[in-house]
Chains A and B, each alone.
Chain A
Amino acid sequence: GESVGLHLPTLSVQEGDNSIINCAYSNSASDYFIWYKQESGKGPQFIIDIRSNMDKRQGQRVTVLLNKTVKHLSLQIAATQPGDSAVYFCAENRNYGQNFVFGPGTRLSVLP
C-alpha cells in the first residue's frame, strides 16, 4: 500500500457524522485554494475549490470555508461515509506562475 502519510495527523469520525478538516495557509497573497482527496495507491483527486473573493462554497456533501483574516481553510464533509476514508490536503495558489503549495494532509478514518 501507499506509504506516504504514515505520520499524518488523523481525524477519526463515526460513520454518519460530519467531518471538519482544517488547513492553515501561509501566504496572504494566495487567491485560489483547492481541496484534494488521496486514497491509498491513487493520485490526488480534486474535491472542491474556492477563490479568495468568496468565503464559502458548497458541493455535493462538501463545503469549503475560507477565512482570509486568519489564513485558514476548512473542508466540511456531511454524513461521512466509509468511502470518505482517505488523506485530504489543501493547496494554495499564489498569484503568479503555476506553483501550487500543497499542505502535508490529514488522514480521515471513518469508524463503523
Chain B
Amino acid sequence: DAGITQSPRYKITETGRQVTLMCHQTWSHSYMFWYRQDLGHGLRLIYYSAAADITDKGEVPDGYVVSRSKTENFPLTLESATRSQTSVYFCASSPGPSNQPQHFGDGTRLSIL
C-alpha cells in the first residue's frame, strides 16, 4: 500500500538556494496538488495539475515552479528560497475532477534560514 510519498520529510536550507520537493503517487490519479500549511491558515493551494504536462496556479503560486512530465510525479521547486517559504508542504492527488476527496502525503517540513 504505497499511495503517495513525499521526500524529503525534513529539509533545512538557506535563503537564495534552490530546493526541490518530490511527490510520487502509485494510484495513477490524474490530479495532483501542492499545498502549504502555516500557523493561522488552513491549507493553501500552491499549484495543481490535471494531467501530465498540464499545470495551473493556485492561491499562492509566487516563488514556486512545478512540472509534471509523468503522471506519477509532481515535483515542486523553490527557485530562490525565502524565509517566508518556511512551512510544511503537502502533496495530494485525486482520481478525477472536483467533488472527489484528495489524498495527502505526510508532508515535507521545510525550514529556510
Contact = CB atoms under 8 A, between A and B. Distances in A.
Main secondary structure of the interface of A (DSSP, over half): loop
Contact of B45 (A31, A44, A99, A105): A99
Greatest chain A CB density within 10 A among B97, B102, B106 is at: B102
Interface residues of B, number: 30
Given A31-B99, A93-B99, A98-B33, A7 B39 contact: yes
B47 to A, nearest CB: 10
A44 B97 CA distance: 19
B40 A104 contact: yes
Interface residues of A, number: 32
A102 to B, nearest CB: 3
A32 B97 CA distance: 12
Contacts, number: 67
A4 B38 contact: yes
Greatest chain A CB density within 10 A among B58, B94, B98, B101 is at: B101
A93 B42 contact: no
Interface string B32-45: 01010111111111
B104 interface: yes
Interface of A: 2-7, 31-32, 34, 36, 41-46, 49, 51, 89, 91, 93, 95-105
**Top 10 nearest A-B pairs by Cβ distance?**
A102-B42, A43-B104, A102-B43, A32-B99, A46-B101, A43-B106, A44-B104, A104-B42, A98-B48, A4-B37
18 contacts: A5-B39, A31-B99, A32-B99, A34-B101, A42-B107, A43-B90, A43-B92, A43-B105, A44-B43, A46-B102, A96-B98, A98-B94, A100-B45, A102-B35, A102-B42, A102-B43, A102-B44, A104-B42
